[in-house]
């Protein structure tokens, strides 16, 4: 068993069209590095020059925004589901 990562449309060109990718990792940052190894350039889309999550990128671990957890240091484990979602407007 591993971690399922849901890939949003803007990034599917990098994953050869795959909407879901499976990765093993214990920390979110490690997961991003592994995705980057498999799909070169992937990390740059998610993380800025300072190593922080880009402003317009939201990553959810089992539905929870990782910004409310430990960001890229958030622990991950088998069976988790990660969603990468671009920020969208709404409300007023």
Partner 1 sequence: MAFLNGLKCRECGREYPVEPLNVCDFCFGPLEVVYDYATISEVVSQDSIAKGPLSIWRYKDLLPAEGDDPVDIMAGFTPLLKARGLGKTLGLNNLYIKNDSVNPSFSFKDRVVSVAATKALEFGYETIACASTGNLACSVAAHCARAGVRAVVFIPSDLERGKIIGAAIYNPVLVSVDGTYDQVNRLCSELADDYPWAFVNINMRPYYAEGSKTLGYEVAEQLGWRVPDHVVVPSASGAMFTKIWKGLNEMACLGLLDGVPSSSFGVDQNTVHHPAVTTKMHMQQAEGCSPIATAWNSNQSQVVPVRPDSLAKSLAIGNPADGIYALKVIERSGGSAYAVPESDIVDGIKLLAETEGIFTETAGGVTVSGLKNLADSGAIKPDDLTVVYITGNGLKTQEAVEQVVNPLSIKPSISSFESVFEGAK
Minimum Å gap between C-beta 24 and partner 1 is 23
- Cα-based angle 44, 46, 50 (whole degrees, multiple of 5): 70
67 counts as binding partner 1 under rule CB under 8 A: yes
Return d(Cα 5, Cα 18) in angstroms, integer: 10
24 counts as binding partner 1 under rule CB under 8 A: no
73 counts as binding partner 1 under rule CB under 8 A: no
CA distances (Å), 71 to each of 12, 26, 44, 76, in order?
23, 13, 16, 11
* Residues found near partner 1 in the complex (CB under 8 A): 6, 8-11, 13, 19, 45, 54-58, 60, 63, 65, 67-68, 83, 85-92
């Amino acid at each position: 068993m591993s971690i399922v990562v849901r890939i949003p449309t803007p990034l599917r060109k990098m994953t050869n069209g795959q909407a879901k990718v499976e990765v093993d990792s214990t920390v979110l940052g490690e997961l991003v590095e592994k995705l980057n190894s498999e799909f070169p350039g992937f990390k740059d889309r998610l993380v800025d020059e300072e190593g922080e999550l880009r402003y317009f990128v939201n990553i959810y671990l089992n539905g929870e925004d990782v910004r409310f957890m430990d960001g890229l240091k958030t622990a991950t484990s088998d069976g988790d589901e990660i969603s990468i979602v671009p920020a969208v407007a709404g409300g007023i």
